């Protein structure tokens, strides 16, 4: 082996082999980090849009559920939705339903329960399962009412529903920069406000069947005569339309 002498010029002692690989690593790591950061930010922006939709869904569900028939919620009082009650659980379910689009595939689908199978077989259970919030998703959705922290709401109060969602951060490296020390989730929140749809009557008779005609008829029985006549006209028109459609059907 030949060793360089002390008189060898300095530029002759430099080895340039592997410089391309080193330069690639130095340039690629920041570039890949930037790409993953952009991807994570885009996912979080999509999550924010979904949470905004979930807040709107929670507010819409709240103004209907709060003053609904107590018999449908285990006898719970009207216009009250304390955390842990059936009314509150139904409102949270409505909010979680709007977040199905950001649910993680690993928690949702099996080999037989996929979007492809749901589209190919719309009569199967795959459609229902894919559109139903998973237990993983529901455990990460929280609905509160900042304007009514006690859970009690007036008949015509404005109901503000606040939805918080633990959004999963999945991009490596950058998730520790964007999602805190744990790098697992980031809390996304949004609020929506709607007026409470209070019912100025008591629920009587059998539990409502869920049809618009039955609900309007029940409201007419407990209201003034002018509104009762309008409801009777509407129900009669609806029934007449249904009967004429049945006669035309061979």
- pLDDT tens column, 24-81: 888 888 899 899 999 999 989 999 999 999 999 999 999 988 888 888 888 888 888 8
3-state SS assignment for residue 143: strand
For the question of whether the overall pTM of this predicted structure is more than 0.75, the answer is: no
The encoded tokens of residue 11 equal: 């530029």
CA distances from 1 to 4, 6, 9 (A): 10, 16, 19
Q: Find the mean pLDDT for residues 159-182.
A: 89
Phi, psi of 191 (to 5 degrees): -130, 155
Check residues 26 and 119 and name the one with the higher pLDDT.
26
The encoded tokens of residue 47 equal: 């999550």
151: alpha, beta or left? (left if phi > 0; alpha if psi -120 to 50): left
The encoded tokens of residue 214 equal: 């039955």
Domain boundaries, the chain: 19-200, 209-243
Statement: residue 90 has pLDDT above 70: yes
How far apart (Å, rounded) are the C-alpha atoms in residues 1 and 240? 106
Statement: residue 181 has pLDDT above 60: yes
Check residues 8 and 57 and name the one with the higher pLDDT.
57
In the sheet with 185-195, reading across from the earlier edge strand, the strands are 141-144, 158-168, 185-195
């Amino acid at each position: 082996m030949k060793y360089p002498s002390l008189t060898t010029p300095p530029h002759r002692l430099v080895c340039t082999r592997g410089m391309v690989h080193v330069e690639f690593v130095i340039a690629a790591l920041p570039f890949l980090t930037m790409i993953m950061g952009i991807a994570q930010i885009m996912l979080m922006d999509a999550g924010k849009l979904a949470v905004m939709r979930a807040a709107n869904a929670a507010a819409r569900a709240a103004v209907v559920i709060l003053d609904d028939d107590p018999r449908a919620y285990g006898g719970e009082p009207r216009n009250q939705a304390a955390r842990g009650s059936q009314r509150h659980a139904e409102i949270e379910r409505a909010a979680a339903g709007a977040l199905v689009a950001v649910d993680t595939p690993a928690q949702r689908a099996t080999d037989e329960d996929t979007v492809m199978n749901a589209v190919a077989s719309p009569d199967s259970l795959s459609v229902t399962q894919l559109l139903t919030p998973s237990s993983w998703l529901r455990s990460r959705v929280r609905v509160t009412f900042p304007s009514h922290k006690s859970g009690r709401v007036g008949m015509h109060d404005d109901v503000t529903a606040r939805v918080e969602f633990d959004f999963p951060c999945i991009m490596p490296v950058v998730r520790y920069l964007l999602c805190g020390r744990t790098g697992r989730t980031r809390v996304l929140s949004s609020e929506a406000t709607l007026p409470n749809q209070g019912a100025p009557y008591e629920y009587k008779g059998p539990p409502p069947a869920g049809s618009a005609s039955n609900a309007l008829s029940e409201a007419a029985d407990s209201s003034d005569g002018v509104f009762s006549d309008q409801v009777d006209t509407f129900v009669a028109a609806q029934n007449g339309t249904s009967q004429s459609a049945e006669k035309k059907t061979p």
